[in-house]
Amino acid sequence: MDISQFSLSRVNLSQQIADHLEEVILSSPTSKVAEKLPGELKLAKQYNVSRPVIREALKLLQERGLITLKNGSGAYITRPENDTVMNAINRIMQVDRIKSDDLTQMREILELSSVDRAVQCITDEQLREMDEILSKFEDKSLPLKERVKLDEQFHIAIAQATGNELLSMFVGVLTSLLRDYMGKGILIEGGIEDAIKRHREIYQALLNRDAKAVHQAMVEHLKVSSLNVQFFDRQGATAKKQTP
């Protein structure tokens, strides 16, 4: 890791170092996941700053999802998880007052594209993995948190079947952002049964490699999800108005 040509101003040292280390990690052809960064002492000498400054810079990188800090071991490069991206988008949504309708519309665009592509190239192994996910999802004794997690995994598995990593990442982020709505939708009367039915319809159409049927099954599934989001938003708005 070559940082010898980097110079610092004396303002926001930890921020500058974090930004520079991020640039090095992302641009270096030799950087790879699980690679260990130089230790705090070595970095402090290279940047000519104190160890607390380096420690703060590493915490910033961890918040960005670029490294993992392990006690007594050091800092390791990692791949940003969906939740890291989700939290960033969530903050943007709150600042810009982005509506949940925008989320559901974006989900429709991505997931319909995802299923249309997946049906053309999905493998038998990927279908078996989806079937395993659904078998677990259909266990009615399953805790809600686990059921919602499996719901997300099913939709991500479809996106992964396209072979497009960026698409699968964004589908994962969007389903994560809608996680609370998905849970509420399952809890309403008949919600579990309806979710099981619609997911099985999508799976069966994929199994049959039926492009028209799988597109329609996903349209119907997303339509119900969108209506649930609208319903719960209205419910939340009504509750706020009634709060003294």
pTM comes to: 0.70
Q: Which of 23, 42, 77 is the last residue of a domain?
A: 77
In a domain, 73, yes or no: yes
Read off the DSSP letter of residue 172.
Answer: H
**Same domain membership, residue 99 and residue 69:** no
Q: Please indicate, yes or no, if residue 242 is contained in any of the structural domains.
A: no
Single-letter amino acid, residue 160? Q
Q: Are residues 35 and 150 in the same domain?
A: no
97 and 158 both lie in a single domain: yes
pLDDT confidence bin for 96, thresholds 50/70/90: low
In the predicted model, is pLDDT for residue 3 greater than 90?
no
The pLDDT, as a whole number, for residue 180 is: 87
Q: What's the pLDDT at 94?
A: 63
Length of the chain: 244
What was the pLDDT predicted at 234?
84
Q: Is a pLDDT exceeding 70 seen at residue 207?
A: yes
Do 134 and 223 have their domain in common?
A: yes
55, 77, 99: which is the final residue of a domain?
Answer: 77
**Nearest CA to 164 among 202, 198, 120?**
120
- The DSSP output letter for 10 is S
- Using DSSP's 3-state secondary structure scheme, residue 205 falls into helix
pLDDT at 232: 85
- The pLDDT, as a whole number, for residue 26 is 84
Domain check: are 99 and 216 in the same one? yes
Q: Is the pLDDT of residue 191 over 60?
A: yes
Write down the residue that tokens 């800092």 correspond to.
75
For residue 83, is pLDDT > 80? Answer: no
Give residue-wise pLDDT tens across range 8-45: 555 589 999 999 999 988 888 777 888 999 999 999 99
The mean of the pLDDT values for the chain is 87
CA atoms of 181 and 194, how far apart (whole Å)? 15
Are 119 and 205 members of one domain? yes
| 74 beta partners | 70
Is residue 5 predicted with pLDDT exceeding 60? no
CATH of the domain at 68: 1.10.10.10
- Domain span at residue 179? 83-233
Please report which confidence band the pLDDT of residue 237 belongs to, taking 50, 70 and 90 as the band edges: low
Structure tokens at 107: 């989900």
Q: What is the mean pLDDT of residues 180-193?
A: 88
For residue 79, pLDDT beyond 80: no
Terminal CA-CA length for the chain: 58
Phi and psi for 76 in degrees, rounded to 5?
Answer: -125, 140
Out of 24, 52, 77, a domain closes at 77
Domain shared by 106 and 183, yes or no: yes
Cross-strand pairs, 79: none
Q: Are residue 66 and residue 95 in the same domain, yes or no?
A: no
Query: Are the C-beta atoms of residues 211 and 115 closer than 8 Å to each other?
Result: no
DSSP label at residue 140: T
CB 76 within 8 A of CB 34: yes
Backbone angles phi, psi at 232, to 5 degrees: -70, -30
- The 3-state DSSP class for residue 6 equals coil
Confidence band of 240 (pLDDT split at 50, 70, 90): low
Helix, strand, coil shares of the chain, percent, nearest 5, are 70, 5, 25
Task: Specify the number of domains making up the chain.
Answer: 2
